[in-house]
Structure 1
Amino acid sequence: MKRIIIILSLAITFQISAQETETPDYSENVSTLDNTIETLYSVISGDKGVERNWDLFKHLFHPKARLIPTGKNKEGEIIARYLKPDDYIKTSGKWLVENGFHEVEISRKTDTFGNITQVFSTYESFKSKSDTKPFMRGINSIQLLNDGNRWWIINIYWMQESEISPIPEKYLSN
């Protein structure tokens, strides 16, 4: 009898442990194109001192996905950097939390063929939700795949607006 009680106790303990360590269900976040894009913007946004949900961030991306920021290097050459989602978290995660960062989509142009979609998503960036003037604007070129079960971000390729390259008017309105 003692043996049965011990076995049942262990079984219950393991079941409770398994429930506590289960990963959250993020399926709703990637069920539609809109949900996927909205989740992308919301998961990197937060006030100063607010930790981001990096598990949800990584869930958005295909295992071979890349984040590709463009801009000038120290020598003034225009380059592209190729980052995995984990690389982005390592290089930008701390800055986002220390400074506050809210990226807001202001316009979207979407093209779809079959199971692939290309989104030109124009954004404004703020350090706080209460800011009224963005400190940066740009365009995220987001390539996505719908595998029949969910949306995957394949790539995000982006460029910040500059005096030399202002955002064209066609990307500022829907």
Structure 2
Amino acid sequence: MTMRTGDDADRAAIAELVEVFFAAFKTGMDAEALRELFLPQATIVRTCGDVPVVYGVESFIRPRAELLDSGRLTGFREWEESGRLDVYGDIAQLFCSYAKSGVQDGQPFTGRGMKTLQFVRTAAGWRISALAWDDERA
């Protein structure tokens, strides 16, 4: 079987989507722009050493937007460090490391972890169909 790796236009479109995804998590978060990155039925899973928590798009975005707008979390940012993107036809996946930093309730913090994002091509362009992440633990 020959692996198709996607053309440069696909890779650029997905890279832009990933950049918008990571940039969305900041004070004054644009929740609508974040929603547009996902299929409405996307599945989002947080593991982080606990029982996995499964979210829909709204149940994922709403509490994060509220926290970022509450003033309890300031100077927050999250960014991709490195990753591997595989593209085949109308599907793709990114497995990447990421880092984050901010101040929550007056306490500075940093963190790192891994995310896996799955994408599908739609009539409106590439969208996230699934996301899962795990953070480093002490």
Deviation at 1:148, TM superposition (A): 5.3
In structure 1, the residue corresponding to 2:67 is in which secondary structure?
helix
Residue number in structure 2 paired with 1:19: none
Deviation at 1:91, TM superposition (A): 2.4
Give the structure with the larger strand fraction.
2
Residue number in structure 1 paired with 2:4: none
Deviation at 1:134, TM superposition (A): 6.3
Residue number in structure 2 paired with 1:169: none
The 3 A distance-change label for structure 1 pair 92 and 112 is same
Deviation at 1:149, TM superposition (A): 4.2
In structure 1, the residue corresponding to 2:59 is in which secondary structure?
helix
| C-alpha separation in 2, matches of 1:43 and 1:37 | 10
Correspondence 1:145 to 2:126: no
Correspondence 1:66 to 2:43: yes
Deviation at 1:151, TM superposition (A): 0.5
Point out where structure 1 has 5 or more consecutive residues left out of the alignment: 1-30, 73-77, 164-174
Give the structure with the larger helix fraction.
1
Q: Which has the larger radius of gyration?
A: 1
Residue number in structure 2 paired with 1:40: 21
- TM-score using structure 1 length: 0.63
Residue number in structure 2 paired with 1:56: 33
Deviation >6 Å, runs of 4+: none
Point out where structure 2 has 5 or more consecutive residues left out of the alignment: 1-11
In the alignment, which of 123, 130, 134 is matched to residue 155 of structure 1?
A: 130
| C-alpha separation in 1, matches of 2:86 and 2:47 | 22
Query: How do 1:93-104 residues align onto structure 2 when only pairs under 5 Å count?
Result: 93-97=65-69, 98=71, 99-100=73-74, 101-104=76-79
- TM-score using structure 2 length: 0.78
Amino acid at match of 2:97: T
| C-alpha separation in 1, matches of 2:124 and 2:85 | 20
| C-alpha separation in 1, matches of 2:44 and 2:95 | 14
Residue number in structure 2 paired with 1:20: none
| C-alpha separation in 2, matches of 1:36 and 1:144 | 10
CA RMSD of aligned residues (A): 2.0
Q: How many residues align?
A: 120
Query: How do 1:1-174 residues align onto structure 2 when only pairs under 5 Å count?
Result: 32-44=13-25, 46=26, 50-72=27-49, 78-97=50-69, 98=71, 99-100=73-74, 101-127=76-102, 135-147=110-122, 149-163=124-138
